Structure 1
Amino acid sequence: MDKLENLRTQFIAIQQKTRAGDIFQSIGEVLSDTLTQVKVQPKTPVQLPENGDDALAKMKAYSQRLDNHRSGDGLDMVSDADLHLAAAQLANPLPKYRDTGAFFFLSDVIQNDLLSDEQMRWLTSYLISDDVLFSHIFEPNNAAIYQRSFSILVLSLLLFKQRTKSAFMAPQQLAIVINQIALYVAIERDTRGFIGTNGWAHAFTHIGNAVAEVFMMPQLLRADKLFLLASMLAGYRELQQPLNMGETERLVEVTMYSANAHPLYHDYILLTLKLWRKDLVTRQPPQNEGRWHQMYNRARFFNAIILRGKDNVPEKIFNYVSETRDFLT
């Protein structure tokens, strides 16, 4: 984890410079220079969760009781042991344990107030821990993507809860959550959507959900939101695997939401799009599969902006993308 810790230290330093107003136009370049350190490491065995059937039986029984009550009223709170068992199944490659199992269960109990504030703080800390959110992240595509992807998805539910119902996170924990998300969205490289019989991984759609929740928190500093946006776009810029199952459209939706929210984000996004086009003008033509995917991912981003329509995209951004669209496709 020394490599991860080194990246985190550099990201925090960039965030502090962003807060201080020392950098703006160069945030993307500085982040990209930092991300050049992200090299693929050899694959190592992924430890998968056990007790899937036991966990699923308990989750189904509890969900049935919840359905019968139609609300959380009158139901016992989820025990710590059952919560821990369910959270561990987010790493299960099989969708019946992970997706329709653990994720559906955690979504239900979070939304129906069946976790205490202390349990939600524990769940948040568990999901953002290095061993969970960054599990095997520097390695080629592997089974750990399910844990990473569904951790960021459940984090989006917890952020929604924090924003709309119960501010269970103290400012210090929320700051750590945002820092971990910013680092994760920049270094995730597994772009797979639906994977054979294992169902959805869809990490980049889930990334969009988490970033959207952060942007809707009015009390957060604009500089921190800008840094998160810059991290997401810097990570997207570096992708050398294709995004072709709706992920780009979700990321563009979040990006345009931020562009419409404040001129600060609008100006940064426009600068980033110009930087991406400059890359294609100044760099040599792609010579390998990864670089071709990189180019076409950016083309998809521009096309997705156009498809949102001029009424949903700030005028300067829409005009710029329209003018350069033919060059990118």
Structure 2
Amino acid sequence: MATEQEAVQTVKDAMQTLRKQLLDGKVFKHLPDALGEIYNARPAFQETPITTPDDDMRALARISSISKRIKGSNDPKISDEELSFLMDHLASLSPAVRDKGVFFLMGDLFQADAFTVAQIDWLATYLQQPDVLFAHILEPQNDAVFLRSFAVMLLSGLVYADSRYHVLSAEAYEALTLNFATYIILERDGRGYVDPQGWAHAYTHIGNLADELSQVKALSRGHKLFLMATVLEGWQRMDDALVFGEDQRIAGYLTNLAVKHQFYAESLVMCLTSWQKRVTTMRPRESEAFWNRWYNRSRLLEALIIRSDMPKGVIDYLQKIIDVY
């Protein structure tokens, strides 16, 4: 029997094959259905123990010390050991440590250009490690979602910062996009705010990284289309209610991409058309998951249609399908 890591690799291989077919011009209109087949074939594993940091007070004290030093310096720097310490605490279940601590401090470090080129390269590798980006992702809803989701969020900060560092090559961006698309297909934990652990917010973070990658010139249109279609497939198949502002974030990403070129606007309509065909064949089910998916769709379409900057062709199609369903 395959291990969870091997199962993740199998899905990644399928995504890589499909992306190559798209780039080779062998699949376009059938891309959403092909992604759906990969999604539906996603295996499930039993829950396993999750290791998380348990030194909240010590971590908070050290994060505060690093933060004060950074903000008080004209030439802020962070050591490799300190960076490793911060990443070790990205899995913390304390929102004060993970969110307001590590994440806020990393944001300050990105803004201050406090990293070395080697540290940016190390971060890009670390955040995409299978035991980070895909930690326990094939298991029932679990506390590893915070590590996975915040790894995605920090990757968005890294991509933004790389416009100044210029560390990632075209090949590195293509590899990141594939890992990210695989993550979207595999992530089924759509919880927003989780009491008392704080924000999981996977789909907000997905919107952030997808938006940053849409700005990367090294990525071709085919790579960006593949990612857009994957985001929409993941959204429509999420069983949790996405009610913590995720619709606005994803709508912002889709609009920003659609206005870049008519190709993206037409591709968005193609993906929405495929989704609409599935909707028209659905029969209501007496299940929470069904109705969550139904109203997730309504929220996203409404968030898209009120965008004043969305291309007219997309708006016209949205108005047509909203009137029908």
TM-score range, shorter chain: over 0.9
Q: Is residue 2:323 matched to residue 1:319?
A: no
Q: Is residue 2:210 matched to residue 1:206?
A: no
Deviation of the 1:312 alpha carbon: 1.5
5 Å-filtered alignment, 1:266-285, equals 266-285=265-284
Q: Which residue of 1 aligns with 2:150?
A: 150
Q: Which residue of 2 aligns with 1:252?
A: 251
Q: Is residue 2:50 matched to residue 1:27?
A: no
Taking the aligned partners of 2:265 and 2:52, their CA distance within structure 1 comes to 42
Query: Which one-letter code corresponds to 1:228 in the other structure?
Result: L
Taking the aligned partners of 1:290 and 1:141, their CA distance within structure 2 comes to 14
Secondary structure of 1:302's partner? helix
Taking the aligned partners of 1:281 and 1:222, their CA distance within structure 2 comes to 30
Q: CA RMSD in A?
A: 1.5
| Structure 1 gap ranges (5+) | none
Query: Which one-letter code corresponds to 1:44 in the other structure?
Result: T
State, as a whole percentage, how many aligned pairs show the same letter: 30
Taking the aligned partners of 1:28 and 1:105, their CA distance within structure 2 comes to 38
Contact 1:186/1:236 (<8 A) preserved: no
Contact 1:205/1:250 (<8 A) preserved: yes
Deviation of the 1:50 alpha carbon: 4.0
Deviation of the 1:127 alpha carbon: 0.6
Query: Which one-letter code corresponds to 1:197 in the other structure?
Result: P
Q: Which residue of 2 aligns with 1:98?
A: 98
Contact 1:58/1:82 (<8 A) preserved: no
* More deviation, 238-247/285-294: 285-294
Deviation of the 1:56 alpha carbon: 2.5
Q: Is residue 2:17 matched to residue 1:13?
A: yes
Match of 1:45 among 27, 31, 49: 49
Taking the aligned partners of 2:239 and 2:294, their CA distance within structure 1 comes to 9
Deviation of the 1:59 alpha carbon: 1.9
Contact 1:192/1:201 (<8 A) preserved: yes
Contact 1:192/1:202 (<8 A) preserved: yes
Deviation of the 1:121 alpha carbon: 0.9
Taking the aligned partners of 2:41 and 2:124, their CA distance within structure 1 comes to 28
Taking the aligned partners of 2:82 and 2:17, their CA distance within structure 1 comes to 39
Cα distance 1:144–1:248, how it changes in 2: closer, same or farther (>3 A)? Answer: same
Taking the aligned partners of 1:57 and 1:177, their CA distance within structure 2 comes to 33
Taking the aligned partners of 1:39 and 1:4, their CA distance within structure 2 comes to 9
Secondary structure of 2:115's partner? coil
Taking the aligned partners of 1:302 and 1:175, their CA distance within structure 2 comes to 29
Deviation of the 1:148 alpha carbon: 0.6
TM-score if structure 2 supplies the norm length? 0.94
Taking the aligned partners of 1:79 and 1:222, their CA distance within structure 2 comes to 38
